[in-house]
Every structure is written in structure tokens, then in C-alpha cells.
Amino acid sequence: MHITQLNRECLLHLFSFLDKNSRKSLAKTCHKLLEVFQDPLLWSLLNFHSPVELKKDNFCLGPALKYLSICWYSERVKVCNIEDWMKNSFQKDFCNRHENTVSDFLLEVCNRCPNLLSLTLSGCGHVTDDCILLLLQKCPNLKTLKLENCVRITDQTLEAVTRYGGSLQTLHVDFCRNITQTGLEKLREKCPSVMLRAERSANMIPDNKPEKKLMPEKASRKLVQL
């Protein structure tokens, strides 16, 4: 019996055991298998391990997507997590090559995957509050949001959760150094039912030049002296 003689349900089940590259390779063999590859039901779960993978054509985005994970654990992710004012020209050039990759991908998710239930972002140093805000608005069923080492995430994301995260049950903001203790306390007060975790976030150094923080203090001292 040839594989193409199997019904659609069986083919979808077989495809589910393959990784993205294997699915794409099998889809190239005939039109029927290409249709199975393009079936939204096959793509309820997507895991990516680097921004480069987001630009490939070995997956499909659609309303069936429920669980999405983008986790970058490479040594190169450390460059993106360096404060912008401390990056040298080489590091800035490296970041510019993929600065909008994850954000652009999440914009596609917002437009095409309204039934998303869980999102995990780790090492995505260029994702901003605006991106998460839009996702909360476009994916109202989101129950789990895990952000780890996303250095541009601030208290604005916490505020967006209080306004648009009505379905959210779990929120992690681990190693997000621009999250503050005040923001966490406000979120706990407004959303007591959300399981909140913020490991090594509020006690980390914010992403600002030291001079920017010292100048107001010096100005206040001068006013006191006057």
C-alpha cells in the first residue's frame, strides 16, 4: 500500500511525528502530501530555537496554532542582551541583522493565530512592550505567557496584562531586567488570580546609562542647597 492511499486523518497523524524539515521534504514529493503539509490542523504546536528558523518555509501559521515557543539559548544571544549604550559597532551590526525578526513574526501570529493559548519567549532581546500589547489584544484566549531574558520588556507589559490579559492564568517575566518591583506589586494587586513569577527581574540593573540616573539626583541636591 502506498502512503498516498492513506486517508487524510492517517496522513496528518504520520506527519505529526516528523520535525518541520522532514515534513517539508515529504511535502515536496507529491501534491497530496503538500496539501497535508498545508493543513492548519498539523500546526497546533510550533517550537523554534533561533531567529533564523522563523524565516524558513518549513511550517505554516494558521488559526489552529495553540502553543508557540521561541527560545534562543545560543552564546550569541548575550550580545542582544547587552545594554544598547554599551554595545560596540560590531555588536550593533550583529543585532541590526535580526532586530525585527521575532517582532515581525509575532505580528504575523497576531494576524493569523487568534486562538493562541501559550507563548514562550526566551532570549528574545529585541521584543518590545508594544509587540506583547498587540498580541494580548489579538489573542484574547492566551492563558500562558512566559518571557525569559527579554531585556526590552518593561512595566508597560505588566500594565497591558491588567488591561487585556483577561484569560491569562500564568505570567513569567524571569531575568527581564527592566521590570520593576513597583510594576510587579501593581500587577499582583490588580490580577491576584494570575500565577506570577519574576525570577531575578526587579532586582537587576535597568537598561539605562548611569549618567541618566545620577543627573536628576545631582539636580535635586543643587535645589536643596539653593
- Identify the CA nearest to 184 among candidates 204, 155, 152, 205: 155
Task: State how far the alpha carbon of 121 is from the alpha carbons of 158, 186, 204, in Å.
Answer: 15, 23, 19
The answer to which of 47-56, 59-68, 83-92, 166-175 has the lowest mean pLDDT is 83-92
User: Do the beta carbons of residue 155 and residue 182 sit within 8 Å?
Assistant: yes
Q: How many whole angstroms from its chain centre is CA 166?
A: 19
Task: State how far the alpha carbon of 163 is from the alpha carbons of 29, 38, 123, 160, in Å.
Answer: 48, 35, 25, 5
- The per-residue pLDDT for 171 is 97
Per-residue pLDDT tens over the stretch 122-170: 988 889 999 999 999 999 999 999 999 998 999 999 999 999 999 999 9
Tell me the pTM.
Answer: 0.83
What's the pLDDT band for 193 if we cut at 50, 70, 90?
very high
- The per-residue pLDDT for 125 is 85
Of 81 and 144, the one with more pLDDT: 144
- The per-residue pLDDT for 31 is 94
- Cα–Cα distance for residue pair 71/13, rounded to 1 Å: 26
Q: Please give the CATH architecture assigned to the domain spanning 43-197.
A: Alpha-Beta Horseshoe (3.80)
- Identify the CA nearest to 15 among candidates 4, 50, 55, 62: 4
- Cα–Cα distance for residue pair 102/96, rounded to 1 Å: 12
